[in-house]
Amino acid sequence: MIKRTTCNRDCPDVCALEAEIVEGRLVSLKGVKDDPVTKGFLCPRTTRFPHRQHSPDRLTTPLRRIDGELQPISWPEALDLCAQKLKEARDDHGPESIFHYKSGGNMGYLRALIDVFFAQFGPVTVKRGDICSGAGEWAQEQDFGLCDSSDPEDLLNSKLIVVWGKNIHTSSVHLLPIIMEAKKQGIKIVGLDPVPTRTSRIADLFLCPRPGTDGQLALALVSYLSSQPNGIDPEAADYCENLEEFLALARSTPLEKRVEACGLKLSEALEFFKLYHENRPSSILVGWGAPRRANGALTVRVMDGLAAVSGNVGLPGACTSFYFQRKRHFSRRALPAEVEPPRTFSEARLGPELQHADPPVRLAWITAGNPAAMLPDSRTIAEELKKIDFTVVVDTHHTDTTACADLILPTLTLVEDDDLLGAYGNHYLRVSQPVMNPAGEARHELWIFQELAKRVGLEGLLEGTPREWKERLLDPSVDRAVLDGEVIRQPGAPKVVFQNRVFPTPTGKVRLTTVEPPVPQGEFHKFPFRLMALSHPDSQSSQWSVEPPEYPEAQISEQAPEAWRCGSLARLESRKGGFSVRLRRVANLHPEVVLLPKGGSGMFGGWCPNDLIDAQETDHGGGACFYEQPVRLVPIE
């Protein structure tokens, strides 16, 4: 039997899925052919999802840890226990002693109802910032007043597309058909990445700047443009604040010195600058790499500034795209008013925040995330979660975080789920609907919180079926056909963002920055490399669709010592610890970088990049500095 639903994973695309079910088993997942985004193909990680759906790690019943051992318990027992522990923590220690952490394991809007529960029950402690997109979103909100994009198809109106630290082939695969069409039409593609991603093979020009120096490159380009006829848009002053200050900032350091800081040859940088100058309109695809750094938000601000002063904003084919407003049509009209939490913990610094929490956390509730593997300083988080009186984790599978739980509650996978979804890589809205029965006793989280609400004196708070909640949470302006499975473009979403150069800032103009992103300094003495653990085609963060490798592949530059041969083992170490990796030498990788897959498991697999990474926030926006941990490699004979 073939049934359709929508992928709810943390991914820009939000694909339309065709699931083949045979005798109650998921046999295959394919992309719907006649879908405007999916176009008949899926990424490898979801194509291989049937393996994960039926894996032995699947959670099928509530599990309670008693004397260190997990034991199945019934739902009524589990829910009674949760209700009792929640009330005890709140009444004896105050609502701030409860911490609810939610990540993006399921991107459905109905997950907002879990926040509503905790806000009404407490309000309780929640996270602040966003380790994923926080820095980039903050930057674009400062510059443009809103972080949003033109339709991806508008890239075909560009003459040049700059893929600035974005791994399209791995992380945003449904942008590829558009990029390939652009190439066919003769639109120039420039890639800028310290890692030779597959984009390097399709780019007309691919440069490998030193990690974290993109701000220097952008400012050097502004400085170059300011010396060229019409390099700076003659009307820029009409739609930009701080134009002169921004241009002065760009010129405050000689262009050659900036290019040198990027580790690039002047000739190659000038080739890029010339292409950028001569091909307008142009778009920049701002990836997630450059912003996840100590200078990340300021770096995105100068990229935005570059686009603005050169006239590449607010026109067809001229977009600086980082993110899409996926929640534009999410309505709070059926929800109680939002309440301020009594306390917040920085997501990027969750480990130290838990360690030093005053008052301490008595009960932690983890929704759709694996912080004991995916947040920086993950080992500290795991240790702290284990110390907390009562930790509840709701997930579909065993993870490093469920390994820290006192109680594990099983919930639905993407083929069992029922929700409403918006995308952060396009402007479409969709629903997911179950194509299979839940495995074992796995339950929708709406049901879990409805049952809890009854037990803690919040009867009626979340009453309604998933379908009713989808209807309530969807803005009235949206065609209701979406609820029956049609893909609907968000009404009013911009085909061309900030068209006519009107920006939702206080003055209506782009707010150019006047602050220079610092050049990253190195602790090169003992730890000569920077660890970059990036998205891998076969995994969604820590969720692998194939068995993860025993030893992760650590890619190093061909300039590394010759004795470090391909296939040999080495120990990868930061000042926090280390694990074994298998080396692979790669051409054109920046010599400062050790490249690993993100994900991994410190507890089950023996390797987890975040065990080596310090908890550090980006300059603004509460992002995490994932990609600049100093590390070294010690070959194992």
Q: Does position 415 bind ligand SF4 by CB under 6 A? A: no
Q: Does position 369 bind ligand MGD by CB under 6 A? A: yes
Neighbours of 128 (CB within 10 A): 17
Q: Does position 164 bind ligand MGD by CB under 6 A? A: yes
The residue whose two tokens read 């920055």 is 513
Q: What is the DSSP string of 564-599?
A: S-TT-EEEEEETTEEEEEEEEEETT--TTEEEEES-
Of 158 and 432, nearer to ligand SF4 (C-beta) is: 432
- Shortest distance in whole angstroms from residue 623 CB to Mo ion: 10
Of 239 and 380, nearer to ligand MGD (C-beta) is: 380
Cis peptide leading into residue 506 (ω within 30°): no
Q: Does position 423 bind Mo ion by CB under 5 A? A: no
Q: Which two tokens mark 512?
A: 């150019």
CA–CA separation, 323 vs 426, rounded Å? 9
Kindly state the number of chain residues that form the binding site for Mo ion, as judged by CB under 5 A.
1
- Shortest distance in whole angstroms from residue 415 CB to ligand SF4: 11
Q: Does position 543 bind ligand MGD by CB under 6 A? A: yes
Residue 268 identity = E
Q: With contact defined as beta carbons under 8 Å apart, do 6 and 16 qualify?
A: yes
Kindly state the number of chain residues that form the binding site for ligand MGD, as judged by CB under 6 A.
64
Contact window for ligand SF4 (CB under 6 A) among 9-17, 197-205, 268-276, 282-290:
9-17
Question: Within 503-532, which residues bind ligand MGD (CB under 6 A)?
Answer: 532
Q: Does position 173 bind ligand SF4 by CB under 6 A? A: yes
Question: Within 89-108, which residues bind ligand MGD (CB under 6 A)?
Answer: 103-106
Question: Within 113-152, which residues bind Mo ion (CB under 5 A)?
Answer: 132
Q: Does position 219 bind ligand MGD by CB under 6 A? A: no
Of 15 and 533, nearer to ligand SF4 (C-beta) is: 15
Of 14 and 448, nearer to ligand SF4 (C-beta) is: 14
Residues 6+ apart with CB under 8 A from 619: 135, 294, 295, 296, 297, 298, 517
CA–CA separation, 212 vs 294, rounded Å? 8
SS3 call for 634: strand
| Residues 17-46: x where in contact with ligand SF4 by CB under 6 A, - otherwise, as a string | -------------------------xx-xx
> Distance from CA of residue 56 to its chain's centroid?
27
Of 314 and 609, nearer to ligand MGD (C-beta) is: 609
- Residue 550: CA count within 13 A, CB half-sphere: 2
Q: Are strands 593-597 and 529-534 parallel, antiparallel or unpaired?
A: parallel
- Shortest distance in whole angstroms from residue 174 CB to Mo ion: 16
Q: Does position 13 bind ligand SF4 by CB under 6 A? A: yes
- Read off φ and ψ for residue 490, nearest 5 degrees: -55, 125
Neighbours of 380 (CB within 10 A): 21
Judged by beta carbon distances under 5 to 8 A according to partner kind, the member of Mo ion, ligand SF4, ligand MGD, none in contact with residue 341 is none
Cβ neighbourhood burial of 41 (10 Å; 0-12, 13-18, 19+): middle
Of 49 and 138, nearer to ligand SF4 (C-beta) is: 49
Q: Does position 394 bind ligand MGD by CB under 6 A? A: yes
Where do contacts with ligand SF4 occur on this chain (CB under 6 A)? Answer: 7, 9, 11, 13-15, 42-43, 45-46, 173
